[in-house]
Amino acid sequence: MTADRKRDAREKILLGAIVVRAGLSTADRAFLLGGLLELARVTPRSSEHRRLQAIGEEAFKALERETSGRVVGRVVEATG
Q: For 11-39, what is each residue's pLDDT tens digit? A: 999 999 999 999 999 999 999 999 999 99
Residue 78 is predicted with a pLDDT of: 46
Q: What distance lies between CA 40 and its chain's CA centroid?
A: 14
Higher-pLDDT residue of 66 and 15 is 15
Residue 8 amino acid letter: D
CA distance 57 to 74: 9
Residue 64 is predicted with a pLDDT of: 86
* Band (79; pLDDT cuts 50, 70, 90): very low
CA distance 80 to 69: 9
Q: pTM for this structure?
A: 0.73
- The answer to whether residues 38 and 51 touch, using CB atoms and an 8 Å cutoff, is no
